[in-house]
Structure 1
Amino acid sequence: MQKLKVCELFAGVGGFRLGLENTGKYEVVWSNQWEPSTKTQHASLVYEARFGHENHSNTNLEEVPTSEIPDHDILVGGFPCQDYSVATTLKNSKGLIGKKGVLWWSIHRILSEKENKPKYLFFENVDRLLKSPSSQRGRDFAVMLKSLNNLGYAVEWRVINAAEYGMPQRRRRVFFLGYHKSTEIYKTLQETSPTKWVLERGTIASAFSVKKQGVPISFSLEKNLVSLSNSFNLEKGLSPFLNSGICMGNEVHTLKTAAEYYGPPGVISDILEEQLPDSEFNIPEADIPKWEYLKGAKKEIRKTKDGFEYNYSEGSMVFPDALDQPSRTIITGEGGKSPSRFKHVVQTSTGLRRLFPVELERLNMFPDNHTKLEGISNTKRAFFMGNALVVGVVEQMGNGLFQKIDALEEQLQS
């Protein structure tokens, strides 16, 4: 089978591309990365330095005409988590708009306008997506699933914690795959029991083995997208979406699953560099009490700016980080010297220090110094890794998808 052509949106510094290209089975034919809040497009500069500027767009995706995006087999991206509510507009007979600046609707627009729609979709987001917004838990995901169903796609999803599959960072993200109704996977999914697909037969199950926990739930999505957006889960109860599931033809089947993995764990000690005695990452003795306070348990009275007093409490965190465990999730504020509750600190032969940028890259399974570039600060490199995905998850999923397509094509031919 030939390589699948990929269009990569919200490309960041290229985690999706690395994961898919590592398999040798995908080729990126067009990419887009645009950061609205900064003048210098740092992530795009890194992307172009690593992959070249050909077929790379550094323009606001909302302003890119669909005609400029080449045809592709699979559309991928880790899109921003925003408010995905739907509204109607009198001028637009189709009646569907999202809020301006909400990039899900740019994906929707590309899929709507493409005459040759991509056969497959592969998206990533924070797992909070399954239960947002707090006023209508699960509504945002319901709107997405429904809008993809309307465009002819079935969807399967899973929340994956990379550390539960032997990778060195505890990073929980929801991954979802879409299959166009013209594909063999769609037809196979139609003929397979939903629970069997989620646990055994599905693409994600073949890449990341799971076991069942609890009872499957099934429900229908309202046919009208706008009324779905307005009325979904108004009771303000828990989200009906569990950590695994499929949605096809407005029917949702969802199930709680747990990772099934028996290999060695990935741990922090696997990714550590040799210590540099005079490194800027070393923590001065004078700062250690501040770090200990921020990482420690607290029960104290605090004041708001208006002078209102309230009780504040939080539990303690392991300090320094345990070297024989996977790391905590890297967040965008990981960089910089100032003491923080959430930054990683390790004990080495020469004392306590923060993690080097190359070690943060390794926790996301990027190549060493992928983000090292003139004009890119160490703080910015840490920010990139706080925004990135774990490359190993994408690689495994990409392999699983390609093998599924290949196997079904072989069956057709035999």
Structure 2
Amino acid sequence: MIDKTLCELFAGVGGFRIGLEQSSTEWQTVWANQWEPGRKSQHAYDCYCKHFGEKDIYVNQDISSINKADIPDHNLLVGGFPCQDYSVARTGAKGIQGKKGVLWWDIRDTIEVKKPKFIILENVDRLLKSPASQRGRDFGVILACLNELEYDVEWRVINAADYGYAQKRRRTFIFGYSRKSTYSISVNLENPLNIINTAGFFANTFPIEKLISLHETILKYDSIADISENFRYDFGNTGFMKGGKIYTTNSIPVYEEPILLRDLLVENPDEKYFLGDNIEKWKYLKGSKKIERISKTGHKYVFSEGSISFPDSINSPARTMLTSESSLNRSTHVIEDPKTKKLRLITPIEAERIQGFPDDWTNTGMPEKFRYFCMGNALVVNVIERMGYYLNEIFNKEKFIDLDDSNENSLEAI
């Protein structure tokens, strides 16, 4: 087996770390980074340090300013990175350069320098379709980068509520593994359909209804810039890339009964969470509407949106929680308190429970609004814990050796 060493990028308040540590006490975080740009107070960083108490390995600095060689060696790199414009520009003799401030390139650079055996990344589900003007380009750029760095990749869009958890939160998860890993040798003995159906990482963590066919394409390109300028592809919510060949389709989860919002509610919430006299404003925000607007160019158009449930049902999982949770806006959860029958917001503890965090995890001195922000920005801890159990099996079977080119496809080498 290899050491369960972890590097957590864009760590927030530690969702990846909590989930993995709940799957095994053997996980050791050797380095983590969190930086909230444009903010004087770094509340997420302070929260992480409050719980884990390791400021020497938890760096509160812009990741783009960090020398990647200074990051300790690790076997698993994780991160929930922002969804941005992943386009690149040609820079003459210097090759390509990612758009300034796009954090994918810092992930890529870290992988290039530190060469972790395994990678788990999380992003919004629309990553696979972005941008609208060149569908699939952004994910194509990511796959091409990982292919050049000699990683194969599985991906899956996972809705936490489909697998028994308390929130309808759809996120793209990317599992990358070095072609020189023991796991790569063993899993790639399977055909792509078997990898996606039964043998792969996501098949063993989040089962799907059996697939009978896949769409295939070759990731052909002369450079990452070529991908950025010309690539488009209709990626499915499930897929696998081996050696630059892509296999993908849309899969159906093997559904599990979710946790209901009513099961997470606190008793006797503070009166400040109740709506009071502004219910009509809430009804307007939640209701359907058609509004005539004028664009920047002077063109008139009608903005329209349908209604959403008001109040939210507590007999189903929560909707996707956003960073604006608790503010007076359309996306904020409003429920009927089962005891008082009055309308109210969810409390910070309830927001933590929806994301699978321990109660009062963010109650570390930050403003209450930022507690909601941190939860809206987080991932579902239970999803990571579930991945962790299978990662433990993978790591326990992994060998320390790196396979050279002459024997990397031979089981006898391991």
Q: Same fold (TM over 0.5)?
A: yes
Query: Which residue pairs with 2:106 in the alignment?
Result: 106
Query: Which residue pairs with 2:197 in the alignment?
Result: 199
Deviations 1:223-269 (A, max 9, x none): 32221221112xxxxx421001111111000021111034x321101
Deviation at 1:188, TM superposition (A): 2.2
Give secondary structure in 1 for the equivalent of 2:324.
helix
Give the conservation status (yes or no) of the 8 Å contact 2:326–2:333.
no
Give secondary structure in 1 for the equivalent of 2:158.
strand
* 1:88 aligns with one of 87, 90, 105: 90
* Aligned amino acid, residue 74 of structure 1: L
Residue 135 (1) aligns with residue 136 (2): no
Residue 269 (1) aligns with residue 262 (2): yes
* Aligned amino acid, residue 249 of structure 1: G
Give the conservation status (yes or no) of the 8 Å contact 1:133–1:139.
yes
Give the conservation status (yes or no) of the 8 Å contact 2:3–2:395.
no
* Aligned amino acid, residue 261 of structure 2: I
Instruction: Give the alignment's TM-score, normalised by structure 1.
Output: 0.91
* Aligned amino acid, residue 12 of structure 1: G
Residue 158 (1) aligns with residue 156 (2): yes
Give the conservation status (yes or no) of the 8 Å contact 1:30–1:70.
yes
Give the conservation status (yes or no) of the 8 Å contact 2:293–2:303.
no
Give the conservation status (yes or no) of the 8 Å contact 2:193–2:212.
no
Query: Which residue pairs with 2:273 in the alignment?
Result: 281
* 1:315 aligns with one of 303, 306, 311: 306
For 1:360 and 1:82, how far apart are their aligned partners in 2? 26
Give secondary structure in 2 for the equivalent of 1:313.
strand
Give the conservation status (yes or no) of the 8 Å contact 1:335–1:383.
no
Give the conservation status (yes or no) of the 8 Å contact 1:210–1:259.
yes
* Aligned amino acid, residue 243 of structure 1: N
Deviation at 1:412, TM superposition (A): 8.1
For 2:145 and 2:293, how far apart are their aligned partners in 1? 45
Residue 246 (1) aligns with residue 258 (2): no
Give the conservation status (yes or no) of the 8 Å contact 1:76–1:122.
yes
| Pairs within 5 Å for 1:143-154 | 143-154=141-152
Residue 75 (1) aligns with residue 77 (2): yes
Question: How many residues in Structure 1 have an aligned counterpart in Structure 2?
Answer: 397
Sort the Cα spacing of 1:67 and 1:404 in 2 relative to 1 into closer, same or farther, 3 A. Answer: closer
Deviation at 1:413, TM superposition (A): 11
* Aligned amino acid, residue 254 of structure 1: T
For 1:412 and 1:213, how far apart are their aligned partners in 2? 32
Query: Which residue pairs with 1:391 in the alignment?
Result: 381
Instruction: Give the alignment's TM-score, normalised by structure 2.
Output: 0.91
Aligned residues with identical type, % of pairs: 44
Query: Which residue pairs with 1:15 in the alignment?
Result: 15
Query: Which residue pairs with 2:332 in the alignment?
Result: 343
Deviation at 1:343, TM superposition (A): 0.6
Query: Which residue pairs with 1:259 in the alignment?
Result: 253
For 1:296 and 1:112, how far apart are their aligned partners in 2? 49
| Pairs within 5 Å for 1:288-367 | 288-298=279-289, 300-304=290-294, 309-336=300-327, 338=328, 340-348=329-337, 349-350=339-340, 351-367=342-358
Residue 382 (1) aligns with residue 372 (2): yes
Deviation at 1:344, TM superposition (A): 0.5
Sort the Cα spacing of 1:232 and 1:305 in 2 relative to 1 into closer, same or farther, 3 A. Answer: closer
Give the CA RMSD over aligned residues: 2.0
Query: Which residue pairs with 2:37 in the alignment?
Result: 36
Query: Which residue pairs with 1:168 in the alignment?
Result: 166
Residue 26 (1) aligns with residue 19 (2): no
Query: Which residue pairs with 1:121 in the alignment?
Result: 119
Q: Which runs of 5+ in 2 are unaligned?
A: 400-410
Query: Which residue pairs with 1:178 in the alignment?
Result: 176
* Aligned amino acid, residue 229 of structure 2: N
Deviation at 1:311, TM superposition (A): 2.9
